[in-house]
Every structure is written in structure tokens, then in C-alpha cells.
Amino acid sequence: MFYDLTLKITPQLMKDANGNEKKSLVGHLGTHFDVMNKEFPLSYFHLPAIIFNVYNKEEIDCNDIDFNQIQEGMFVVFATGFIEKVGYGHKDYFSHHPQLSKALIEQLIQRKIAIIGIDSPGIRRGKEHTLMDQYCADHHVFVVENLCHLDIVLNQKSFQSCYINTYPVNYSDMTGLPCRVVAEL
């Protein structure tokens, strides 16, 4: 089974996002990678993945997940439910979203994962957003933001592990790459 985890962009969604977030331009609109000054490796198109249910957590910490389920080279996803709760494009969506603790991000980097995914606009808020995206990119970890429909995958009775296929647009010299993200169970 395939499940599309990509936010569908409509004219109204574009208008709402552009009205509430300066960076919601072509590269940072909807589901996208924060690649910073790096090149997305083709080997990251099809990765083993784990999705952690961290619904209703303000700050996700090391104690909120099972590190035994994480292997090197994985796509690690955090399902917070925030995109469904607040709605992409809303002002609060960009400023009051859940975030990963710095300790958790550091542990993920140490485990040499490939991608961090989240159903919010970033893994950190405010000024720390860009700094942490760059830190992750410098350690060969990319961040995919604004995933959606994670609850559908989590609710599958047969769900134990999956693969995630990610296809970024082939832009150059941009900090964000729009992408299509599909879970394969």
C-alpha cells in the first residue's frame, strides 16, 4: 500500500501561507526539504522509515521515542498531529508548533539517520529553525517539513515498519526543495 504524506497545495493555501510566513516561497511552500547549501543524495529516494506517535507534545525529547527502533540511514518521522489540528498556512502554525529538543536532534545525528520528518513547519522554532536545519545538513541529515496524513499510516493494523519514498524537485542553489513524500507499507 502507498500513502501520500505530501501536503496538497491550492491557491488558497498559497495565499494563506504567504500572508503568514515570509519564507513560504517556491522552495519552502508545503512539504519540502530544508537542504540549506547541500545536495540531496539520490540514495535518499527510498529509505527504511519509522514513524513515532508524539501527538500533543510541545517539545519532543529523547524519552518520547524508542531509540532501539532507529537504524543508520533511516527516515525518522515525528507525527505530532499539529498540521491537522491548526492547519497549514495559519499564523499560529508557523510560530507555535511542536519542536524537537536539541538533545533529541543530537542523538538522531549521532545515529547517522538520513532524514528527519515532521508534520509542522520545522524541528525548532524562531531563530533556531534555520540554525538547526543548517546543523543537520552539515551532518548529512535533511529535514522534511509539513508532512501530513501520518495518522492514516499509524492507524494501519499491519504497520510495523515502512519505507518512505521522497522525490524533491531538482532545483539548484536553494535552501528549500518542494518534494513528494510517499509511505510504502
What does the pLDDT look like over 36-68, one tens digit per residue? 788 889 999 999 999 999 998 999 999 999 999
Rounded Cα distance, 62 and 108, in Å: 9
pTM above 0.85?
yes
**Does residue 155 belong to any structural domain of this protein?**
no
**Does residue 150 belong to any structural domain of this protein?**
no
**Does residue 143 belong to any structural domain of this protein?**
no
Helices (H) and strands (E) in the chain, counts: 6, 10
**Does residue 64 belong to any structural domain of this protein?**
yes
**Does residue 152 belong to any structural domain of this protein?**
no
Q: Average pLDDT, stretch 162-166?
A: 95
CATH number, domain containing residue 41? 3.50.30.50
**Does residue 47 belong to any structural domain of this protein?**
yes
According to the model, what pLDDT value does residue 171 have? 79
Rounded Cα distance, 159 and 153, in Å: 7
**Does residue 157 belong to any structural domain of this protein?**
no
**Does residue 154 belong to any structural domain of this protein?**
no
Domain membership of residue 32 as a residue range: 7-131+166-184
Least confident of 13-17, 87-91, 101-105, 161-165: 13-17
Give the count of domains, the chain.
Answer: 1
